[in-house]
């Protein structure tokens, strides 16, 4: 009877590939009130009032604000939720629709 000797398997390092991150960017318009933007950011993203307020100020002054950085699929979902959020009932301009958002690769 012979003993079988098995050679150890060579160690191969496996790396988990991470998905590249994407920003969800809220775009400014003149149709939506601060109250609408703050409420939307709290409901859709779980931001605190303070964070949502600062984001509302930034989108109003710079024209855009990053509201989330995540995977591409999740970013697409959140963008679509912004687009589906609906009109601003407090707007004096007769706002007919949601705000706009885009996704872009995070660099």
Listed by start position, the domains of the chain span 22-105
Parts of the chain with a pLDDT under 70: 1-3, 7, 10-12, 93-94
- Into which CATH architecture does domain 22-105 fall? 2-Layer Sandwich (3.30)
Nearest alpha carbon to residue 61 among 37, 90, 96 = 37
pLDDT tens digits, residue range 7-24?
677 666 777 777 899 999
Please give the pLDDT value at position 58. 97
- Torsion-angle region of residue 19: left (phi > 0), alpha (psi -120 to 50) or beta? beta
Q: Taking the model in full, what pTM does it have?
A: 0.81
Please give the pLDDT value at position 94. 66
pLDDT exceeding 90 applies to what percent of the chain? 66
């Amino acid at each position: 009877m012979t003993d079988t000797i098995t050679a150890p398997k060579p160690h191969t390092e496996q790396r988990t590939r991470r998905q590249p991150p994407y920003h969800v960017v809220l775009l400014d318009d003149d149709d939506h009130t601060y109250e609408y933007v703050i409420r939307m950011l709290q409901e859709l993203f779980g931001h605190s009032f303070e964070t949502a307020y600062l984001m509302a100020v930034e989108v109003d002054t710079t024209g855009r604000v990053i509201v989330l950085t995540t995977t591409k699929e999740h970013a697409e979902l959140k963008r679509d939720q912004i687009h589906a959020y609906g009109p601003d009932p407090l707007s004096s301009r007769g706002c007919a629709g949601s705000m706009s958002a885009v996704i872009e690769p995070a660099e």
